[in-house]
Chain A
Amino acid sequence: MTGVLASGGCHIFSGCGFPAPGLQDFNWKPFFTIGSFAFTKPMLLAILAALVVIVFFWAAFRTPKLVPRGMQNLGEIAILAVRDQILRPSLGRRGDSYLPFLVSLFFFIYIMNVMELIPVFQFPVTSRIGFVWPLVFIVYFLYLYLGVKHQGAWGYLKNMIPPGVPWPIYIILVPVELLRFFVFQPFTLGVRLFGNMFAGHLLLTIFTIASWYLLTLSIGLLYAVGSFALAIFVFLLETLVTLLQAFIFTTLTATYIASSVEPAH
């Protein structure tokens, strides 16, 4: 955001070039440092996101009633949405034991994403890839563990390639399957979330700065209005993207768990 602040008096036709946003808008000055450890805004937002999830579900279910009221109603809707839209379609009723994990994962990612759209916060935590990899590793080690537990180490590796493939093709496919499973599957899981949030934030920043930059009593005003309209459009789009990315991450986690618990057909 330093770029935005620095562009305070910077408008078109004033001899000032467009202060294009870039990677510098994803780097934050630390609030404080302890030795080489620097505590930055994304860290604070990640902690806040975790607290929001914990406090919300604690408040909803600290004294659960048979006939839910108030917060418990909201909590149940949230849990049932994850159960019916994410867990059950992939894992069926047998997967209900993974519900607490998937609910926590979904809402933690969603709150981290939606920080982008909340005034004052205005930064999606997941647009810093360092916050995405730990989530990917948790999911990755969970489905590896479950796969080995349910199918055995050898069976798990063998079942990566579905049966019915002739053995010469089997040999050709082994490097592809191994690389896909151990590298590209977790890689795409993380990069998709990061990439979408990164691009969304960059788009929002570009159109917001451009609106300000073009805001002059000239033809620039017309462009400023156009840019501002696009900023609003991207904002609305991002309300959907933040939810969608949390949904995709959690849905794929559920399908990976399902393929670990039972081999592919």
Chain B
Amino acid sequence: MTDHGTGADTPAARARKQAAAQGRAQGLETGWTVFSYLLAGMAAYGGIGWLIGRAVHVPLLFPVGMLVGLGISIGYIIHRFGRQQAMTRPRKGDNR
């Protein structure tokens, strides 16, 4: 199969398009992974809180667990994706 009809005229234009497509795919993945982490953190620790709360008859542990889970998720998201962003971003004062 040939590459005609894609509008990629020069190698530079093709590379630019590829980089843009790669950025789109990465952005989509990161965005939805972050969203899944937020839900999963609340569900996981909310569930654990609910189970413990049922055992010790303290219903408050369910919302507390959810908040703890949300905190864990946010912390992990910052650790994982915040650092990734910082690594790809140029340093302050770097005008290259």
CB of B84 to closest CB in A, whole Å: 9
Closest residue of A by beta carbon distance from B20? A89
Q: Is B21's CB under 8 angstroms from A88's CB?
A: yes
Give per-residue flags for B1-38: 1 if the beta carbon is below 8 A from chain A beta carbons, else 0: 11111101000000001100110111011001101110
Q: Is B37's CB under 8 angstroms from A90's CB?
A: no
Give per-residue flags for A167-178: 1 if the beta carbon is below 8 A from chain B beta carbons, else 0: 001001101111
Residues of B within 8 A of A189 (CB): 32
Tell me which residues from 159 to 203 in chain A have a Cβ below 8 Å from any Cβ of chain B: 162, 165, 169, 172-173, 175-180, 183-185, 188-189, 192
Q: Is A255's CB under 8 angstroms from B6's CB?
A: no
Q: Is B25's CB under 8 angstroms from A251's CB?
A: yes
Cα distance A180–B1 when bound, in Å?
39
Task: Report whether over half of chain B's contact residues are helix, strand or loop; otherwise say mixed.
Answer: helix
Say which residue of B6, B24, B37, B45 sits within 8 Å of A251 (CB atoms).
B24
Tell me which residues from 34 to 78 in chain B have a Cβ below 8 Å from any Cβ of chain A: 35-37, 39-41, 43-45, 48, 69, 72-73, 76
Residues of A within 8 A of B80 (CB): 162
Residues of A within 8 A of B18 (CB): 84, 88-89
CB of A60 to closest CB in B, whole Å: 11
Q: Is A176's CB under 8 angstroms from B44's CB?
A: yes
Q: Is A252's CB under 8 angstroms from B29's CB?
A: yes
Residues of B within 8 A of A55 (CB): none
Q: Is B22's CB under 8 angstroms from A184's CB?
A: no
Q: Does A27 sit at the interface, judged by CB under 8 A?
A: no
Q: Is A175's CB under 8 angstroms from B35's CB?
A: no
Q: Is B76's CB under 8 angstroms from A173's CB?
A: yes
Interface size class of B (residues with CB under 8 A): 20 to 34
Q: Is B6's CB under 8 angstroms from A80's CB?
A: yes
Q: Is A188's CB under 8 angstroms from B32's CB?
A: yes
Cα distance A155–B2 when bound, in Å?
39
Cα distance A85–B22 when bound, in Å?
8
Give per-residue flags for A64-91: 1 if the beta carbon is below 8 A from chain B beta carbons, else 0: 0000100001001101110011101110
Q: Does A12 sit at the interface, judged by CB under 8 A?
A: no
Tell me which residues from 211 to 258 in chain A have a Cβ below 8 Å from any Cβ of chain B: 248, 251-252, 254-255
Q: Is B28's CB under 8 angstroms from A76's CB?
A: no
Cα distance A223–B71 when bound, in Å?
47
24 chain-A/chain-B pairs, Cβ below 8 angstroms: A76-B1, A76-B2, A76-B4, A80-B6, A81-B6, A84-B21, A86-B25, A89-B18, A90-B25, A169-B76, A175-B44, A177-B40, A179-B43, A180-B33, A180-B40, A185-B32, A185-B33, A185-B36, A189-B32, A192-B32, A248-B28, A252-B32, A254-B25, A255-B25
Where the two chains meet, the residues of A that have a C-beta atom closer than 8 Å to any C-beta of B are 68, 73, 76-77, 79-81, 84-86, 88-90, 162, 165, 169, 172-173, 175-180, 183-185, 188-189, 192, 248, 251-252, 254-255
Where the two chains meet, the residues of B that have a C-beta atom closer than 8 Å to any C-beta of A are 1-6, 8, 17-18, 21-22, 24-26, 28-29, 32-33, 35-37, 39-41, 43-45, 48, 69, 72-73, 76, 79-80
